Structure 1
Amino acid sequence: MQRRGHLIAMGGALLLLGGCSSLPASGPTEYQFNRAQHDPRQNTVGYGIVQVSPELISVLDNEAPPRFSSLDADAPIVHQAHNDTVGPGDVLQVSIYEIGSALFSPSSAAMAAASASGTGTTPSPSTASSLPPVSVDGNGTIEIPFAGQIQVTGLTTSQVAEAITDRLRQKSQAPQVVVRILSDIANSVMVYGNVRQPSRITLTPNRERILDVIALAGGENHAEQADADYVVRLTRNAHIAEMPLQVIENDPVQNIVMQPGDRIQVTLQPRSYTVFGASGQVTQTQFHTPVLTMAQAISRAGGPLDARADPNAVYLFRFENASVLRRIGMVVDQNAKTAPVVYQLDMMNPSNYFLAQKFRMQDRDLIYIANSSSNKFYKFFGLISTIIAPGITAAWMAR
């Protein structure tokens, strides 16, 4: 009888274990997670698990996208800072004022004939002549009648006028030249994307900043969207940086002075993250603040559930920059720009709550809160209790 009792107990234990393993679950436990990481048949994308630590937070902070203020240091100013010089593609209006026999006046031939016959001895007043619009060619030169080709790239309008005057002094009596820019291509930036009026914006000697030219392009296309959902991408001399619009508004240092040739793209990128597992709710949540921490993201989902969650195993899935992963010692393909990684946060360690307040969320991050290993055990006993409870109640009532 004693041996039979042991066999019954062992059979019950095996039945219990088999029943527990076959119960449904919302996701893997910490043990299953670690085992799958080392199994090539399950870990087909080659992810690694990295513990959230102060060193990791430092690496992630140092790998932040380049800020606009760094572009002035990395890409030295090529163009004149006053935005008043002439360059290829510009269209100029040239006006020439002359005294006496004028080269450019329609009546100059008649005046010359009158002077030869002796009938027109009265000095003529000054005459003004406006030449047809003059384009600056790809070599940075213009062609002026009686003056020939003149190199004007990098000159101001006053300097261009002086160069034309020097060429005409030997051919005209006291010429005076006035030059103005009709179409300013050299001193302009392109603004496009989610703005109301995508266009070429001409810079002035007032030295417009990035928020100025966005405003001149009509501002954001959807005013109801939060500024943090708009990303400004700046391309300057083959250097690229991007930053949320709200960060530029809140940090005057990032509102840098525009340079001719800059390209600004404004894009609407609503950011979101997803939460799975043993949390208060499985949800996809958008965030509109410039910075959202992991602690804030977990709290918005209700945090780990006391009855189901394993606080030791809170995971964050991300396709991280390859440079970050190399710095923390992970092996990443040399040609890869991003690679999958899983960051693990142990919420049973009180000091990790401080780290969670510094860990910044990114768009499309996925948080998974693992189930406790004992959760299936309690589920199984709950199922058994549900099955046998009516029989026990009926037996008690029969007595």
Structure 2
Amino acid sequence: MIRVGAALLVCVVLAGCNSVSSEGPLAGAIDGDAGQSGAELGRKNVAVFDVVDINSRTARFVSDYVSSALNRRFGIGGPVGRVVIGVGDSLKVTIFEAGADGLFSTAQSKQVSLDIIVQPDGTAAIPYAGTVKFAGKTLEQARQAILAALASKAVEPDVIVTSMGTSSRTVTVSGAVGRPSLVPLDLTGEKITQVIAKAGGPVTQPYETYVTLVRGNRTGTVLLKSIIEHPTEDIYVQPGDQIFLVRDPRTFTLLGAVKGDGRLEFGANDLNLLEAVALGHGAVDEAANAQGFFLFRYEEPEIVQNLLGAARFQELERKGMVADSKGRYPIVYKFDMSHPDSLIVGQTFPIKSRDVIYVSRHPSVDIRKFLTLVGAPLNIASQGAATAANLGQ
């Protein structure tokens, strides 16, 4: 009977071990899966990623990186191109003549001003010059065309062509702006922030307003805050561009051994790792693994390649690491908060929208859970063994 009681005790212990619930992976599990393919892990459709230990150097590199979503990634930046006249534009053509007996001069005036609108076929009629092609020409080219047409008719003519309205040069600005409208462009070229200002400006804070630029079949989206802080992103717009402003508060997800997990809003212009954890009321002292703070992110390819190195990056691609729809790669940043300088490093590491911060639990937590779960069954088993021993006497 004693052997039966001992066997019962072993069964209860094993059952208790299997019943320990899981609250996400331990730090060792994350480190162990890093850089492993599905074949190596014995699982199908595995998301291949790597873990990067964050120190002062890597934190500074990630913080200093400037993403050029419009100017570089989509290749639609650069200065304004050649400004030309278009269909529907309003022009003032002023013609001067040297003599009082000219076609356009009188005793009182040696000039005449004509208001014209470029017609759908790109032309407009000028007296004595006939039909003149304006569309596709600069103001100077239009001036020369009129002069050439009047050369043998007017008395030493001279011409000035002035733009009065640029109906062909408009940009659509809509969404979270003060006055959604068609914004006319001037001849010197205007940037994104300038046309947004013409449309009444943004109605929400720059740190939660996204700007989408549509040009032909290309689209680029960037945070308005980034355009303001990085002038290279404030690119010149072109006629026919569409600009949409959308309020989309930046959020991150906080999980694991924290006092308040969930999806949280930034609520500020910037947010670092320490501030993000603080928004969840900090880690649970008796449960959190100070050496296992992780940040999961789809990161810019330039950052990933720099942190991992070309050889490691190519190896992970061969193993199945793939980019998301925006060309970013999965990466996991690891923070060891047991070191004093982690409080400095954590202040310099920026949080991005849609980041997932996971605070892993300490391995001792599972041991405590196990002991709690099997404590009561062990007492029952001990009582059963004692009863069996008494019966055997």
Name the TM-score, length of structure 1 as normaliser.
Answer: 0.69
Match of 1:345 among 335, 344, 357: 335
Which residue of structure 1 lines up, in the alignment, with residue 53 of structure 2?
51
Q: Indicate the SS of the match to 1:212.
A: helix
Give the aligned partner of residue 183 of structure 1.
165
Instruction: Give the 3-state SS of the residue equivalent to 2:340 in structure 1.
Output: coil
Query: 1:354 offset after TM fit, Å?
Result: 2.0
1:267-346 matched pairs, under 5 angstroms: 267-327=246-306, 328=308, 329-330=312-313, 331-332=316-317, 336=323, 337-346=327-336
Aligned AA (1:133): I
Change (3 A) 1:146 1:206: closer
State whether residues 247 and 290 of structure 1, in contact with CA within 8 Å, keep that contact through their aligned partners in structure 2.
no
- Superposed displacement of residue 68, structure 1: 7.9
Q: 1:118-168 deviations in whole A, cap 9, x for unaligned? A: xxxxx9876958465334866xx76645325456756437x7456524532
Tell me whether 1:170 sits opposite 2:165 in the alignment: no
Report the CA distance shift for 1:215/1:175 in structure 2 as closer, same or farther (over 3 A): same
From the superposition, tell whether residues 143 and 56 of structure 1 become closer, same or farther in structure 2 (CA, over 3 Å): farther
CA offset digits 1:262-312 (Å, max 9, x no partner): 664423221101111110111210113232111111111122211111111
Counterparts of 1:161 and 1:33, CA distance in 2: 70
Residue number among 210, 215, 219 corresponding to 2:201 in the alignment: 219
Aligned 8 A contact 2:53 2:333 in 1: yes
Cα shift readout 1:72-95 (whole Å, capped 9, x = no counterpart) = x99553536xxxx64233343446
Q: Equivalents in 1 of 2:230, 2:86: separation in Å?
A: 33
Say yes or no: does 1:79 pair with 2:81.
yes
Of 17, 21, 24, which aligns to 1:24? 21
SS at match of 1:374: helix
CA contact (8 A) 1:294 1:360 kept: yes
| Aligned-residue RMSD, C-alpha | 4.5
Distance verdict in 2 for CA 1:358–1:18, change over 3 Å: farther
Q: Which 10-residue stretch deviates more, 200-209 or 278-287?
A: 200-209
- Cα distance, 1:353–1:256 mapped onto 2, change above 3 Å: same
Looking at structure 1, the residues matched to 188 and 101 of structure 2 have their Cα atoms a distance apart, in angstroms, of: 41
Report the secondary structure of 2:263's partner residue.
Answer: strand
**Contact 2:78/2:235 (<8 A) preserved:** no
Partner of 2:391: none
**1:297-351: per-residue Cα shift (whole Å, max 9, x none)?**
1111122211111111111111223333233133236973223222211111222
Instruction: Give 1:364 deviation, angstroms.
Output: 0.9
- Worse-superposed segment, 372-381 or 59-68: 59-68
Per the TM alignment, residue 371 of structure 1 is displaced from its structure 2 partner at its CA by 1.3
Question: 1:283 and 1:253, CA in 2 relative to 1: closer, same or farther beyond 3 A?
Answer: same
The answer on whether the counterparts of 2:80 and 2:189 sit within 8 Å (CA) in structure 1 is no
Q: Answer yes or no: is the 8 Å Cα contact 2:12–2:377 preserved in 1.
A: no
Q: How far apart in 2 are the matches of 1:258 and 1:16?
A: 70
Look up the equivalent residue of 2:62 and give its one-letter code: L
Give TM-score, length-normalised by structure 2: 0.70
- Name the structure 1 match of 2:382: none
CA distance in 2, matches of 1:31, 1:15: 27
Percent identity, aligned pairs only, is 26
Contact kept? 2:254, 2:357, Cα under 8 Å = yes
Unaligned runs of 5+ in 1: 106-122, 390-399
* Residue matched to 2:177: 195
The 1-side partners of 2:69 and 2:175 are apart by 20
Shift of 1:28: 2.2
Report the 3-state secondary structure (helix = DSSP H, G, I; strand = E; otherwise coil) of the residue aligned with 2:350. coil
Q: State the match for 2:67 in structure 1.
A: 65
**Mapping 1:35-184, distance limit 5 Å:** 35-37=32-34, 38=36, 39-41=41-43, 44-61=46-63, 63-66=65-68, 76-79=78-81, 86-89=84-87, 90-94=89-93, 130=114, 133-135=117-119, 144-148=126-130, 149=132, 153=136, 155-156=138-139, 160-161=142-143, 163-165=145-147, 167-172=149-154, 179-184=161-166
Q: 1:244: Cα distance to partner?
A: 3.1
Write the deviation string for residues 214-239 of structure 1: whole angstroms up to 9, x where unpaired.
Answer: 1211222xx3x433101234579999
Listed one character per residue, the Cα deviations across residues 377-399 of structure 1 (whole Å, up to 9, x for unaligned) are 2234445667899xxxxxxxxxx
Alignment length (residue pairs): 357
C-alpha change, 1:42 and 1:20, in structure 2 (3 Å) is farther
Q: Is the 8 A contact 1:318 1:342 kept in 2?
A: yes
Distance 1:334 1:285 in 2: 28
Task: Check 1:166–1:322 CA distance in 2 against 1; reply closer, same or farther (3 A cut).
Answer: closer
